[in-house]
Chain A
């Protein structure tokens, strides 16, 4: 089955700096890669996603890049702000899997004011 790994597990950045979180996946047939943000005590919320026919997607301060050959995708947050502090989960579609998603274990991002 699909295996999704996230690195690093915890990332601390100074406010205003950029943060990058990388995910690797195992199934080359995966074609959909969403990122979720979970603030403390809240539900995971979709913040950006990318499909395998696209190399990069941006939405204001966040962007996602995909390298299909290397089977990894990354979340980029620019000009980080304290409200960016959260756990970020990446996920990948499970090929042949009835619209299921496999999630990584999550990255804790701490933005230091």
Chain B
């Protein structure tokens, strides 16, 4: 049971490049979310999913796309990277987040130059 696995751990992108941050969980959790963490800003929700095939926007969705084709995987796509997207990205999953919270992945540190 690996929990929530994120890849890569570190990434440097040039402005305008695109990439996909991978997230996989092996706990059969229905709920998955992507957060970004910036100094002094806490954890801000980018996109979330309540099950395979269902996604919705969080508070800071601009510049990001997601899809949920399977219960296990929830990739986050940066369409055209900008320096403002330099951040640490966390994926999280939960079976019943309003009773047991979310389990977070180890994070991806992304730098856009």
Contact = CB atoms under 8 A, between A and B. Distances in A.
A47 B59 CA distance: 25
B105 A43 contact: yes
Given A32-B98, A89-B42, A99-B98, A44 B90 contact: yes
B104 A98 contact: no
B43 A44 contact: yes
Contacts of A103: 35, 42-44
B61 interface: no
A98 B42 CA distance: 21
Contacts of A104: 42
Nearest to B92: A44
A58 interface: no
A98 B48 contact: yes
Nearest to A43: B104
B42 A100 contact: no
Given A32-B99, A100-B58, A43 B48 contact: no
Contacts of B97: 32, 93, 99-101
A98 B50 contact: yes
A93 B100 CA distance: 11
A100 B105 contact: no
B74 interface: no
Contacts of B41: 105
Given A99-B50, A99-B98, A101-B97, A43 B43 contact: no
B39 to A, nearest CB: 10
A99 B50 CA distance: 8
Contacts of A1: 59
A101 B44 CA distance: 10
Nearest to A45: B104
Given A43-B104, A101-B97, 19 more contacts: A36-B101, A42-B106, A43-B105, A44-B104, A46-B101, A46-B103, A49-B101, A51-B99, A93-B97, A98-B50, A99-B97, A100-B33, A100-B58, A102-B45, A103-B42, A103-B43, A103-B44, A106-B42, A106-B43
Interface of B: 31, 33, 35, 40-45, 48, 50, 56, 58-59, 90, 94, 96-107
